[in-house]
Structure 1
Amino acid sequence: MTRHFLRDDDLSQAEQSAILDLAVEMKRDRWAAKPLAGPQSVAVIFDKSSTRTRVSFHVGISDLGGSPLIISTANSQLGGKETPTDTARVLERMVSAIVWRTYGQAGLEEMAASTTVPVVNALSDDFHPCQLLADLLTIREHRGALAGQTIAFVGDGASNMAHSYLLACATAGMHVRVGAPAEFAPAAQVVTDAEARAAETGGSVLVVTDPVAAVAGADVVVTDTWVSMGKEEEKQQRLEVFHGYRVDDELLAHAADDAVFMHCLPADRGYEVTAEVIDGPRSIIWDEAENRLHAQKALLAWLLAANTTAAASATTDAATTGN
Structure 2
Amino acid sequence: MNQFQGKSFLKELDFTGAELEFLIDFAQHLDDLKAKNIPHEYLKGQNIALLFEKTSTRTRSAFTVAANDLGAHPEFLGKNDIQFGNKESVADTAIVLGSMFDGIEFRGFAQSTVETLAQYSGVPVWNGLTDEWHPTQMIADFMTLKKHFGVLKGTTLTYLGDAKNNVAHSLLITGAMLGVNIHIGAPATRQPEAAVLEKATAIAQTTGSQILVTEDAKLAVKDADALYTDVWVSMGEDVDYGERIKLLLPYQINMGLLKATGKAETIVMHCLPAFHDHQTTIGKEIGEKYGLDALEITDDVFQSQQSVVFEEAHNRMPAIKAIMAATSGHLFF
Output the TM-score relative to the length of structure 1.
0.91
Please state how far the C-alpha of 1:26 moved relative to its aligned partner: 0.6
Residue 249 (structure 1) aligned to one of 245, 250, 255:
255
1:154 is the counterpart of 2:156: no
The 1-side partners of 2:69 and 2:181 are apart by 34
- How far apart are 1:176 and its partner, in Å? 0.5
Q: What root-mean-square deviation, in Å, do the aligned CA atoms of Structure 1 and Structure 2 show? A: 1.5
Listed as ranges, the gaps of 5+ residues in structure 1 are 310-323
Tell me the secondary structure at the aligned position of residue 242 of structure 1: helix
Once residues 181 and 74 of structure 1 are traced to their aligned partners in structure 2, the CA distance between those partners, rounded to angstroms, is 38
Give the equivalent residue in structure 2 for 1:225. Answer: 231
Residues 276-296 of structure 1 deviation map (CA, whole Å, 9 limit, x = unaligned)? 000001101111010000011
Deviation per CA, 1:96-125: give whole Å up to 9, x if none.
111100001111122222232111110111
Secondary structure at the residue paired with 2:74?
A: strand
One of 111, 116, 123 as aligned partner of 1:110: 116
- 1:35 equivalent among 42, 45, 61: 42
Q: Deviations over 1:31-76 (max 9, x none)?
A: 53212101x1111110111101111110110000000111012221
Which residue in the other structure is 1:65 paired with? 71
Aligned 1:153-172 pairs, distance under 5 A: 153-172=159-178
* 2:145 equivalent to 1:121: no
**Structure 1 residue 182 corresponds to structure 2 residue 179:** no
In 2, the alpha carbon distance for the partners of 1:200 and 1:148 equals 13
Between the aligned residues of both structures, percent identity stands at 37
Task: Please report how far the alpha carbon of residue 9 of structure 1 lies from its aligned counterpart in structure 2 after TM superposition.
Answer: 2.1
Q: 1:197, 1:301 → 2: CA distance?
A: 27
Pick one of 5, 9, 13 that aligns with 2:17. 13
2:100 is the alignment partner of 1:76? no
Is the 8 Å Cα contact of residues 227 and 234 (structure 1) preserved in structure 2? no
**In the alignment, which residue of structure 2 is the partner of 1:98?**
104
What does residue 313 of structure 1 align with?
none
Query: In structure 2, what is the equivalent of residue 320 of structure 1?
Result: none
TM-score by length of 2: 0.89
Conservation of the 8 A alpha-carbon contact between 2:43 and 2:329: no
**Matched residues in 1 for 2:206 and 2:91: separation?**
34
Q: Distance in 2 between matches of 1:237 and 1:112?
A: 39
Is the 1:73–1:79 contact (alpha carbons within 8 Å) kept by the matching residues of 2?
no
Distance in 1, Cα, partners of 2:89 & 2:258: 46
For structure 1, which segment, 229-238 or 125-134, has the greater mean C-alpha deviation from structure 2 after superposition? 229-238
Per-residue CA deviation, residues 103-160 of structure 1 (Å, 9 max, x unaligned), is 0111112222223211111011111111111011111111110000010000111011
Q: Find the aligned partners of 1:166 and 1:48 in 2 and give their Cα distance.
A: 24
Aligned-partner residue type, residue 321 of structure 2: K
Structure 2: runs of 5 or more not aligned: 277-293
CA contact (8 A) 1:26 1:32 kept: no
Shift of 1:202: 1.9
Q: Does 1:275 align with 2:296?
A: no
**Aligned-pair CA distance for 1:79:** 3.0
Greater CA drift, 75-84 or 248-257: 75-84
Shift of 1:233: 4.1
